[in-house]
Amino acid sequence: MKKIIVFISFLCIIFSFTKISAQVQTSTNPQAIPEEQKIQQEEPKKDTLMATPIDGITDMSEKFNKTPTPYPYVRDADIGWQKRIWRVIDLREKMNQPLYYPETPHNHWKSLMTVFLDAIKEGSLTAYDAAIGDEFITPLSYKELLERVESKQTTQMQRPDPPYDYYDTVISIKLEPTAIKKYRIKEDWFFDKQRSMFEVRIIGICPVVDVLDEKDGTLRAYKPLFWIYFPEARPILAKAEVFNRFNSAARFTYDDYFWKRLFSSYIYKEDNQYDRTIGEYAKGVDRILESDRVKEELFNFEQFLWEY
């Protein structure tokens, strides 16, 4: 019985050795590989060659596919103090230029105005009429919005054929995102006595375009185009990239930009019984001083809440 078991074990060892040697010969001799195995080995190479190129070291598209940070819940009974402020963000300031550029969208990188227009066009964001105020009352469709922001200019042109007379024609000028040099934001400052926190929430944002004189091109006024309800825009802004001039690997979104308040602005209106802006009762240097006074009051209110 023992001889039979030894004999069977010896046969198994010989069979295993023969199989291993055959595999080694097949791997060293390409001609010995069957055609089916050759096709299976070549398929991954084809998939690698047909893969979509990545413009960078890693795929950055997943980095901006995120949701905005939710606001902490606040009860109306917990708001012990509140003040509404209106500000202006001037994109000509260096600190605010990330909102203006790029002039031409590319590689998941768009200006803030381009992000708004694309979202309104696809129906994921609502624009509200700025002509009747900033209270988000009358929504505008994308077609209505284009009709309001497009400007028409009457000019004279000469006919190319005799008698070469002149005729009047109307030229429609479409609004370009690069024409937006300012934004207005409406925000609420409040003190939450439940959490003992002094916070601010942006309620709305409005792009503003310059109104120029048709004759000499001088600045005549500022025209608000439409208001955006900021909480509705946050999911869209959380997927839009902002350029970081200090580190390209640490880029953030427009929602991060406003959440961290990385913009520079000045106050042009505060809550008051006359419902008037600072520019309506202060001019020149007094207007700047009045804006700084309101800013200083907000700072002092937070400081005086505590004892040191």
SS3 letters across 104-163? CCECCECCHHHHHHHHHHHCCCCEEECCCCCCCCCEECHHHHHHHHCEEEEEEEECCCCC
Residues 223, 129: Cα–Cα separation, whole Å: 12
Q: What is the pLDDT of residues 231-245, one digit of tens each?
A: 999 999 999 999 888
pLDDT score at 16: 60
- H or E segment and range at residue 22: helix 2-28
Distance from CA of residue 62 to its chain's centroid? 15
Q: What is the pLDDT of residues 84-102, one digit of tens each?
A: 999 999 999 999 999 999 9
**More confident site: 3 or 295:** 295
In contact, 207 and 183? CB cutoff 8 Å: yes
CB atoms near residue 13 (< 10 Å): 9
Residues 189, 261: Cα–Cα separation, whole Å: 13
pLDDT at 74 over 70: yes
Instruction: Please list the residues that pair with 300 across neighbouring strands.
Output: none
pLDDT at 219 over 60: yes
**More confident site: 187 or 54:** 187
In contact, 288 and 273? CB cutoff 8 Å: no
In contact, 226 and 207? CB cutoff 8 Å: yes
Name the residue among 178, 198, 160 with its Cα closest to residue 298: 198
pLDDT band at 164 (very low <50, low <70, confident <90, very high): confident
In contact, 155 and 169? CB cutoff 8 Å: yes
Which three-class secondary structure string do you get for 172-200?
EECCCHHHEEEEEEEEEEEEECCCCEEEE
Residues 211, 205: Cα–Cα separation, whole Å: 19
Is the whole-model pTM more than 0.85? no
List the Cα angle 72/74/76 in 5-degree steps. 170
pLDDT score at 17: 52
Name the residue among 134, 116, 138 with its Cα closest to residue 236: 116
pLDDT band at 171 (very low <50, low <70, confident <90, very high): confident
Q: What is the pLDDT of residues 117-137, one digit of tens each?
A: 999 999 999 999 999 889 999
Kindly state the greatest CA–CA separation across the chain.
123
**More confident site: 18 or 270:** 270
CB atoms near residue 109 (< 10 Å): 16
